[in-house]
Chain A
Amino acid sequence: MSAIAARRRTLPGFGLTMGLTLTWLSVIILIPLAGLFLKSLELSLEQFWAILSSRRTLNALRISFGLAFGAACVNLVMGSIIVWALVRYRFPGRRIFDAIVDVPFALPTAVAGVALTALFAEKGWLGAPLAALGIKVAFTPLGIFVAMIFIGIPFVVRTVQPVLQDLDPEIEEAAGSLGASRWQTMIRVILPSLAPALLTGLALAFARAVGEYGSVIFIAGNLPNVSEIAPLLIVIRLSEFRYADATAIAAVMLVVSFIVIFAVNRLQRWAQHRDAER
């Protein structure tokens, strides 16, 4: 194996570039992350557990994970609708809306945060009509939810869009000619074909929303146990010099991130395997 690989290396620079890559990767990414895990290992199991099971920590984790999952689900549904409209239909402004999907990705999170807050504040453009209906968004958990939806939209759209574009038109025609209604074709043929991409988009949107900080903290209200997200609690613990607490929460969040990455990798491999050689 390695002998064959070595012979295939006709181009120069493998040793040098690989060495530099691994060194740089270690210095910037791996050593700092390892430092975090080492730090969390300094805690005894009881300490670790005491930190995580404190009411405030538990609530912060519950708020972050719960709302992030909810927002990712909204993104899954709305993202699919947006992808369908962008790929399948022609309407005025389609290309502009296609480009606009990336705004949450490109807009600095602090800017998104202040803008969403002003928009949904009680006197804001959307906040005022919503307040008239008795719905309060800014400075409530609902505000966190809105910010997380904002931040996750491009992830679902950009993972599903290319797959829908490449979907073989013949499979829809085949389903139709076999007597399936449009709805049956949608549920039984198109949806399963998009499933790996949909789940990948869901996972990516979820991962992003869980860790999101900038766009959330302005609109959240940051009331402990009610609207305080886990990343904010890390920052608060740091400013109180309670490094152990910050590290423990961060470790839990990192582990979840790794699980999501692993899941996404598996999903991609599954999709590749299933769709191989058509």
Chain B
Amino acid sequence: MAMQISDSAMLATSGAKARARAAALENIRTEPAAVRIAIITLAVSFLTIFVVLPLVLVFAQAFSKGFMAYVTALAEPEALAAIKLTLLVAAISVTLNLVFGLVAAWAVAKFEFSGKTFLITLIDLPFSVSPVISGLVFVLLFGAQGYFGGWLRDHDIQILFAVPGIALATTFVTFPFVARALIPLMQEQGTQEEEAAISLGASGLRTFFRVTLPNIKWGLLYGVLLCNARAMGEFGAVSVVSGHIRGETNTMPLLVEILYDEYQFVAAFAIASLLAMLALITLVAKTILERRLDGGEDRDH
């Protein structure tokens, strides 16, 4: 007994240091402090240089000649026309993709059929097509030398270099957003609640509006938000089909390019700052929505 006590007392003194060192070093799932700090520093500096700085620079440049210059730049008729056009185009393409997204998600998520994965791949296609090509395909269809070019000219319908063309190209580019936000969510929720509603005598549409829609409202909002951000910010595709007619077919991103090329930096960055603001608001809302979706709070009414 006495042996044991002295034994452990000795351990407590001589082993204490070695033991503390082992405990500190030997958390099996982490790295030494130096490595940890190096990794964090690397990650943070990379994100700061490549992401934070450009963002800060947009606002710094926009306000570089003072607040009045900023406001004046935005009040230019050209700027106002671009803002109006951007809102109009976004409204058209978001509405179209919202309806399509709901319809497609219902078909894909609530039913089993062969070729489903392939269909999802097709819906995803615009994600991996260069924006320039997204514009080009409509030029090939509706341009003067395009497949429908002659017919359109005969009937005096303007698609390219006009709002319909810009809206079409934007719809193409933002096609997957709503559907892709809804499909996994609706697949996860299954069909039981809808089946219960149908078995209780509800009609299909009623079931959709009373049961499905409340369950997916946050997911739907998420999709619409991302869709809208991309629709307002699209540059490449719109650039190809717009024709750059000043005050008529210039969206905000196109105007940024024109002003920048004309060395009107304050004006260019003023418009850019509006778009950056849109991106930041979208991100904040997205983060909040993601927390809601992850928390499974999608069902509170």
Interface, chain A (partner B; CB < 8 A): 1, 5, 8-14, 17-18, 20-21, 24-25, 28-33, 35-36, 38-39, 78, 81-82, 84-86, 88-89, 91, 93, 97, 99-104, 106-116, 118-119, 124-126, 146, 149-150, 153, 169, 172-173, 176-177, 182, 207-208, 210-214, 218, 231-232, 234-235, 238, 241, 243, 246-247, 250, 253-254, 257, 260-261, 265
Contact = CB atoms under 8 A, between A and B. Distances in A.
B107 A12 contact: no
Interface of B: 28-31, 36, 39-40, 42-44, 46-47, 49-55, 57-58, 61, 100, 103-104, 106-108, 110-114, 117, 119, 121-126, 128-133, 136-141, 143, 145-147, 168, 171-172, 175, 191, 194-195, 198, 204, 207-208, 226, 229, 232-236, 239-240, 252-254, 256-257, 260, 265, 268-269, 272, 275-276, 278-280, 282-284, 286-287
B51 A103 contact: yes
Contact of A108 (B132, B275, B284, B286): B275
Contacts of B51: 100-101, 103-104, 150, 153
A115 B100 contact: no
Contacts of B146: 35
26 contacts: A5-B113, A11-B198, A13-B107, A13-B208, A38-B147, A82-B43, A82-B47, A85-B42, A89-B40, A97-B43, A107-B55, A107-B279, A109-B233, A110-B233, A111-B272, A111-B279, A114-B256, A115-B272, A119-B54, A150-B50, A150-B54, A172-B28, A211-B128, A211-B129, A213-B131, A238-B136
- Point out which of A5, A110, A260 has the most chain B C-beta atoms below 10 A from its C-beta: A110
Given A100-B52, A126-B53, A88 B30 contact: yes
A233 to B, nearest CB: 9
A21 B104 contact: yes
Contacts of B265: 118
Q: Which 9 A-B pairs have the closest CB atoms?
A: A108-B233, A211-B130, A214-B235, A213-B236, A12-B204, A32-B137, A115-B54, A85-B43, A110-B253
Given A97-B47, A111-B275, A153-B51, A32 B172 contact: yes
B195 to A, nearest CB: 6
A231 B257 CA distance: 16
Contacts of A177: 28
A36 B137 contact: yes
Given A10-B198, A99-B283, A116-B54, A254 B232 contact: no
B28 A173 contact: yes
Given A5-B112, A11-B198, A247-B140, A207 B128 contact: yes
A211 B131 contact: yes
B122 A25 contact: yes
**Chain A contact residues, majority secondary structure:** helix
Contacts of A172: 28-29
Contacts of B172: 28-29, 32
Given A104-B50, A214-B239, A253-B130, 7 more contacts: A8-B111, A17-B106, A21-B119, A24-B100, A28-B175, A81-B43, A109-B235
A61 B282 CA distance: 34
Contacts of A214: 131, 235-236, 239, 253
B269 to A, nearest CB: 7
Contacts of A265: 117, 121
Contacts of A211: 128-133
A260 B279 contact: no
A22 B253 CA distance: 32
B141 A35 contact: yes
B110 A11 contact: yes
A254 B133 CA distance: 8
A158 to B, nearest CB: 11
